[in-house]
Amino acid sequence: MAHSRKKAAGGRGTVKPKARPRGRAAGREDASVDRRKLKGKLSRERILEAALALFSERGYAATGVHEIARRAKIEKAALYWHFGSKEALLAAVLDRTDAEFVERIAKRLARSAGGSDERLDLFVSGLQRLAAERGHLVRLTLGVAIERAQVSAESRGALERIFDRTRKAVELGFEQALGVKLPDADLIARLALAYLYEAAVRGATDPESAQHDRFFAHLRRLIVLDVQHQLAAAGLSVDPARLPTQR
């Protein structure tokens, strides 16, 4: 009898592991998981695109979470499930912007094995395409900078990374092309960003007068003149074949 009670007690206390489906059942379960992951990824992308569009159009403070959810065609709860808060969503949008800047500027310069002219052409053409094709990204960073007091420290940090990585890309690109380090390469980066912002804003407010080809050709000429000035002022000697030329 004691043995019987022990066995019964043991039976109540033992939880058998749930058997994993086999064969077709397992395949259907895996496919279902994959579909859910894909659906979640697509929802996240729609939220990011909607937030990017609205933040750049209206500004961060003037954009409500419900408006982003409506634009993305998802429930507001799904937005919070993916990002947790409006501030975290902005940080994610800025991280995406950072990736676009780096891809179009820093990586293009790093991959180039050409001289100063080729690197300068890649840099300026990358800025021009960014203003023409993704101007809303540029306007977003400008808006966040203006609304600095209303955005989180995380978002401000993401914005600083964009500026810092652009500066470093410019400095490294010229150093590799010239063989010397320009003393004020950071000023070239700031000049380039100023042109980028003007072009992006002009493209949104008065597209007919934007004239990106003419505008960025002028930026290229200014950069060549400034490189020459910095080298002369610092007394740096560079092989003439490595110097950028006017076009």
More confident: 66 or 3? 66
As given in the structure block, the two tokens for residue 160 are: 């600083």
pLDDT band at 112 (very low <50, low <70, confident <90, very high): confident
95 domain residue, yes or no: yes
Range of the domain at 120: 87-237
Q: Are the beta carbons of 117 and 245 closer than 8 angstroms?
A: yes
Instruction: Give the amino acid at 151.
Output: V
pTM of the model: 0.76
Phi first, then psi: give them for residue 157, nearest 5 degrees.
Answer: -65, -40
What is d(CA 131, CA 154) in angstroms, rounded to the nearest whole number?
25
- 241 DSSP assignment: G
- The per-residue pLDDT for 6 is 46
Checking if the pLDDT of 119 tops 90, the result is no
| CATH code assigned at 227 | 1.10.357.10
- The per-residue pLDDT for 154 is 82
Half-sphere CA count of 87, side-chain side, radius 13 A = 11
163 domain residue, yes or no: yes
Once rounded to an integer, what is the mean pLDDT over residues 160-188?
88
The angle subtended at Cα 103 by Cα 98 and Cα 108, nearest 5°, is 140
- The per-residue pLDDT for 41 is 76
As given in the structure block, the two tokens for residue 225 are: 């003149």
Checking if the pLDDT of 212 tops 80, the result is yes
pLDDT band at 164 (very low <50, low <70, confident <90, very high): confident
- The per-residue pLDDT for 27 is 54
pLDDT tens for residues 7-25? 444 444 555 555 555 655 5
More confident: 137 or 148? 137
193 domain residue, yes or no: yes
188 domain residue, yes or no: yes
Lowest mean pLDDT across 33-42, 67-76, 148-157, 171-180: 33-42
Once rounded to an integer, what is the mean pLDDT over residues 213-218?
97
Residue with tokens 């410019």: 170
Checking if the pLDDT of 67 tops 70, the result is yes
Residue with tokens 């993916």: 82
What is d(CA 53, CA 15) in angstroms, rounded to the nearest whole number?
52
116 domain residue, yes or no: yes
Percentage of the chain modeled with pLDDT above 90? 46
168 domain residue, yes or no: yes
Q: Give the dihedral sign, CA 35/38/40/46.
A: negative
The angle subtended at Cα 162 by Cα 159 and Cα 166, nearest 5°, is 150
Structural domains counted in the chain: 1
Any idea how long the chain is? 247
57 domain residue, yes or no: no
pLDDT tens for residues 120-147? 998 899 899 989 988 888 888 888 888 8
115 domain residue, yes or no: yes
Identify the top-confidence range among 7-21, 33-47, 226-240.
Answer: 226-240
Which residues, 6+ apart, have CB-to-CB distance to 246 below 8 Å? 221, 224
- The per-residue pLDDT for 98 is 79
